[in-house]
């Protein structure tokens, strides 16, 4: 790495390291300088095997432990804004302690800094660890670095028994995640002049039956590995009509189905088609969920070490990519997710300290 390139001091405290990681801008597709710094820092650590794939860095211990776990976090952020508060970071006193302000302080460079600190402080953890620092999480799925690893080098992560994604959760443990399916449910009519509607057939009016089925739909609450996932099915968009004086010949209702991680994508697809039997259904996106795996020894030890209750992740996150490789996962990281991507993105420094201490307790 050229001498002028940014570098990271892994011996710095986790708050200073978070600020340093944030201060290397890494908007999606521009992660190279940060990936270079992470790679260079990890290559100085004894006992780590480091692999670079694009702007994704994977580092593994090879200690022959009985279990292997993954710590994962993405390097990219959403774009900076004109607000000068975005970067560089600044540490500001607050009524309940100092707060670190700036892009990435929540989503999710605090989690990245925790991973780096664990790699520094635990050269011989109680479990073998695979650290995954990946690119392009904030943009279209096809660029996602974790997906690239899954496709091109699954052996780097698929041998783990459990994974922790250090996305911001307010330092709470959120187990697994729900799957998400998006379908276009269509009606077909016959176009005509709106002054003479009897010459046509109104496709928008027919969509009332689609909406009625959604209103009457009773979503299930499904228990998976001891956590309750609340399913949901909703219309999120309605499109139809071409002009103010034409009876519409087509109407499309976009339906989003959020399903429990015990349901496969194929089962979710079949369920949506059953609900809208008689209509044209085109499933355009379907990403399965992730089981939390709380019955596994590594997961139980994680929960016990943190001493925190575990709730079900009601959204979808990249833990699902681990599930696709047969690796159960949870979400746990510093920062309030409600502040992610905001101009005033900020995080109490105590969140970083507490998260680092928790992961060290688990792996130490």
Going from the C-alpha of 192 to that of each of 199, 204, 243, the distances in angstroms are 6, 13, 11
Q: Is residue 9 flagged as an active site residue? A: no
Q: How many CB atoms lie within 10 A of CB 151?
A: 8
User: What are the helix (H) ranges across the chain?
Assistant: 14-22, 32-43, 109-121, 145-152, 203-216, 265-275, 297-306, 319-324, 349-363
Residue of 345, 293, 358 lying closest to 99 (CA atoms): 345
Residue of 135, 73, 145 lying closest to 110 (CA atoms): 73
Which residue in 137, 174, 351, 356 is the catalytic one? 137
Which residue in 76, 167, 225, 249 is the catalytic one? 76
Going from the C-alpha of 112 to that of each of 133, 167, 197, the distances in angstroms are 7, 9, 61
Residue of 184, 213, 136, 142 lying closest to 285 (CA atoms): 184
Whole-number Å distance between alpha carbons of 344 and 101: 7
Q: Is residue 137 flagged as an active site residue? A: yes
Position of tokens 């925790």? 114
Residue of 362, 293, 330 lying closest to 163 (CA atoms): 330
CB 144 within 8 A of CB 134: yes
DSSP 77: B
302: exposed, middle or buried (Cβ count in 10 Å: 0-12, 13-18, 19+)? buried
Please name the residues in contact with 26: beta carbons below 8 A apart, sequence gap of 6 or more.
Answer: 33, 34, 35, 75, 76, 77, 104
- The set of catalytic residues is 76, 137
């Amino acid at each position: 790495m050229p001498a002028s390139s940014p570098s990271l001091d892994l011996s710095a405290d986790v708050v200073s390291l978070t600020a340093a990681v944030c201060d290397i801008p890494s908007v999606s597709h521009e992660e190279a300088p940060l990936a270079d710094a992470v790679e260079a820092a990890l290559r100085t650590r004894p006992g780590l095997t480091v692999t670079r794939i694009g702007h994704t860095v994977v580092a593994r211990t090879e200690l022959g432990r009985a279990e292997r776990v993954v710590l994962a976090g993405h390097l990219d952020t959403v774009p900076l804004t004109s607000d000068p508060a975005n970067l560089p970071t600044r540490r500001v006193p607050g009524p309940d302690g100092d707060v670190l302000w700036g892009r990435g302080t929540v989503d999710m460079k605090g989690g990245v800094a925790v991973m780096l600190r664990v790699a520094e402080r635990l050269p011989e953890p109680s479990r073998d660890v695979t650290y995954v620092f990946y690119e392009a999480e904030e943009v279209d799925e096809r660029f996602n670095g974790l997906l690239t690893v899954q496709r091109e080098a699954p052996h780097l992560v698929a041998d783990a028994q459990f994974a922790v994604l250090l996305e911001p959760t307010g330092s709470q443990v959120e187990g697994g995640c729900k799957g998400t399916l998006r379908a276009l449910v269509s009606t077909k009519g016959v176009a005509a002049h709106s002054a003479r509607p009897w010459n046509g057939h109104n496709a928008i009016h027919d969509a009332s039956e689609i909406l009625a089925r959604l209103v009457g739909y009773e979503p299930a609450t499904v228990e998976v590995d001891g956590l309750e996932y609340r399913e949901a099915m909703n219309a999120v968009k309605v499109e139809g009509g071409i002009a103010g004086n034409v009876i519409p010949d087509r109407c499309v209702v976009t339906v989003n189905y959020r399903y429990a991680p015990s349901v496969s994508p194929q089962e979710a697809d079949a369920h949506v088609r059953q609900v809208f039997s008689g209509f044209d259904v085109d499933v355009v996106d379907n990403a399965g969920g992730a089981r939390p795996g709380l019955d596994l020894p590594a997961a139980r030890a994680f929960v016990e070490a943190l001493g925190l209750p575990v709730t079900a992740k009601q959204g979808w996150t990249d833990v699902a990519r681990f599930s696709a490789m047969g690796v159960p996962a949870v979400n746990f990281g510093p920062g309030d997710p409600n502040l992610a991507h905001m101009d005033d993105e900020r995080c109490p420094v105590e969140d970083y300290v507490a998260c680092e201490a928790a992961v060290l307790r688990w792996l130490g």
